[in-house]
Structure 1
């Protein structure tokens, strides 16, 4: 009987335009996130980074949003700040300019940088939902694609749609770019790649992805013809993404007169965890972190290294063999592998690493593939639970080192 009651409602829901259905999902998800943020503000104390009784606007402008605002108002330093110990201190060169200055321009209409940043994050989040549905619908079906949107909009990191971070804008640009590559419409990518590259770090992963796409297309050229025109586009776009990825280091070096200005700036954040920061070595961050974190938990460092190896092997197995992951297509699996390899090479894992997983958004498609209603409702419940936990720890109880979004 319940099915008989629900079926007409479901039919009416499915008959609505996709953009409207996604808007309803997105608005509902934002209401839930707002309630979570209000609850976090209510539990914040003087021990929190935000102090007692902050407003939601304090959360919007908190953490990295302060750096984006500072860049928008003051620009980038031409002389690197130095700590008392003689090391390079945290500074604006760690934050890309697109989001910072776009929020400043839009904020002129709303009266503040924070309002502009919030507007960009919100709108980009909705458009990213549309882009995700478009990217997935022909791969896993319209229903599963809609559920992927539900999980994305309500997921553990959904607070990023309502604070002054560049994540939702970057994910929007990324999903559109992945869709363009899949549809072999390369023209717009010559514009999107530089914008994406100057929105937040990660464009080098896209360069690797394009290289892997080129290799895959070449190996399959008998079954899937690879015209010379497409070869030129893939190579040129890969070269452009690589150049953009390294250009920020060059700009920082020119502006400051310090060849390693950008890397020294990034390593300044790692110094807070007591790690050696004399030079950057690929993959060293995860190796150091595996030993560091397991030592904090009272276990030998070698246990952390074994756990790291198992994590890498498990991720590789899932991308290669898991049926649900395979359903989203080899190209999205290649992107996921490229980005995970990029993270493994350049980042030191800590609480912010969860936020850095947002570019893996296409994998929500794999989560949505199983069709059981109870399974999907359970996943949604877990998403909301994890979202509250994230907001509770990072905003309600947020502390300088251990609870950083």
Structure 2
């Protein structure tokens, strides 16, 4: 038995990384497919999908409908309004690369729905492989492999199946982080626009480049900072900022409304908070949501603020002092800090917050560093349990207020 196990491990180790990641990815996708089948069977009259939901209905539900609408109809030139005259939810909240790519691929794959799911699945594998290569720059093969296992089988692994832009965004993001770590800055001029027009979040990458430039400048005596790298860091940081704000400009030009994009984003907030005159201030969303959810759950508002401060402090401590996180390297730590700060500045937290944390998947590497098998198996089991909980709630129960992916 021991000889057979040793032989199997030796064979596994000799396989190319792309094959090993592929085997893990396919195995994880079979588990997730079973979870979706069970969630479809559990869908009832109170669910968004109804009592007769099939797996296909779930994969094409929620925001996938908006991507489908964009692929078929494009973006509105006149913003739709509610009965009270406020801007209603509309397609300008979603970036164009994913729906249009699926529309193009759908011409040879039998339609947009099939192509959209195929893109998510294929992009998921590509993201897993690039994540492995990225983590191997800092971690050993065992830790990098386990990090990929946590990634492909974790709580948000349902996103590899649904018609969302997340996995395509992760491919660009992991490639961009890899380029930054390797200091191959020229690739960022391509990857930043791809990120920016796939999903919101590229402004966090602009912040990352600003912090990275400061860090490199401080470290320049130990780690020389050539003038050409200074130019690339500044130029790509500015490019990320320009791309990040460009969609607002495009929406304003097409609709002839300077506030079109912001008003569109605030339309979703009205599902929870009714505002006579919607407004946006950085970090206001988290503060308003803390008060809202505290009142909904019967907590004192001050307790909600204390818990929010504790979460922020815990995240800051982990990024600054956790030995496992520090092993990932400064680039991945700065990305995680930049993205968390971005979310704090712009997002109104509700159940979609879980999905929006997926770009922090590089941090799976920190959880994979401890070598004890019991730890890694425990993290994997918790990830699978969280995955079922997320799929069952967001796609089985699928309540339009409390369970939104």
Partner of 1:82: 81
Partner of 2:393: 393
Equivalent residue runs for 1:18-33 within 5 Å? 18-33=17-32
Partner of 2:175: 176
- 2-structure distance, mates of 1:290, 1:260: 26
1:144 aligns with 2:143: yes
Residue 275 of structure 1: how far off its partner (Å): 4.6
1:50 aligns with 2:42: no
Residue 374 of structure 1: how far off its partner (Å): 1.1
Partner of 1:96: 95
Residue 86 of structure 1: how far off its partner (Å): 1.1
- 1-structure distance, mates of 2:137, 2:216: 20
Equivalent residue runs for 1:239-254 within 5 Å? 239-254=238-253
Residue 291 of structure 1: how far off its partner (Å): 1.0
- 1-structure distance, mates of 2:301, 2:4: 57
Partner of 1:331: 331
CA contact (8 A) 1:151 1:380 kept: yes
1:68 aligns with 2:67: yes
CA contact (8 A) 1:69 1:113 kept: yes
Residue 56 of structure 1: how far off its partner (Å): 1.1
Residue 286 of structure 1: how far off its partner (Å): 0.3
Residue 7 of structure 1: how far off its partner (Å): 2.3
Partner of 2:131: 132
CA contact (8 A) 1:189 1:237 kept: yes
Equivalent residue runs for 1:4-403 within 5 Å? 4-276=3-275, 278-403=278-403
Structure 1 length-normalised TM: 0.98
- 2-structure distance, mates of 1:274, 1:174: 32
- 2-structure distance, mates of 1:282, 1:275: 19
- 2-structure distance, mates of 1:401, 1:250: 31
Unaligned runs of 5+ in 2: none
1:138 aligns to what SS in structure 2? coil
Residue 138 of structure 1: how far off its partner (Å): 2.6
- 2-structure distance, mates of 1:334, 1:196: 18
- 1-structure distance, mates of 2:14, 2:312: 43
CA contact (8 A) 1:275 1:288 kept: no
- Count residues with an aligned counterpart: 404
2:20 aligns to what SS in structure 1? helix
Residue 31 of structure 1: how far off its partner (Å): 0.3
Structure 2 length-normalised TM: 0.98
CA contact (8 A) 1:210 1:234 kept: yes
1:404 aligns to what SS in structure 2? coil
Residues 37-74 of structure 1, C-alpha deviation per residue, up to 9 Å, x if partnerless?
00001110111101112111111210000000101110
Residue 5 of structure 1: how far off its partner (Å): 4.5
Residues 52-110 of structure 1, C-alpha deviation per residue, up to 9 Å, x if partnerless?
12111111210000000101110111111000011110000000000010011111111
- 2-structure distance, mates of 1:66, 1:404: 14
- 2-structure distance, mates of 1:373, 1:3: 17
- 1-structure distance, mates of 2:324, 2:378: 17
- 1-structure distance, mates of 2:351, 2:112: 26
CA contact (8 A) 1:151 1:364 kept: yes
Residue 189 of structure 1: how far off its partner (Å): 1.2
Q: 1:380 to 1:3 in 2, by over 3 A?
A: farther
What's the RMSD between the two structures over aligned residues? 1.0
CA contact (8 A) 1:328 1:365 kept: yes
Unaligned runs of 5+ in 1: none
Q: 1:377 to 1:4 in 2, by over 3 A?
A: farther
- 2-structure distance, mates of 1:188, 1:270: 36
Q: Which moved more, 1:379-388 or 1:45-54?
A: 45-54
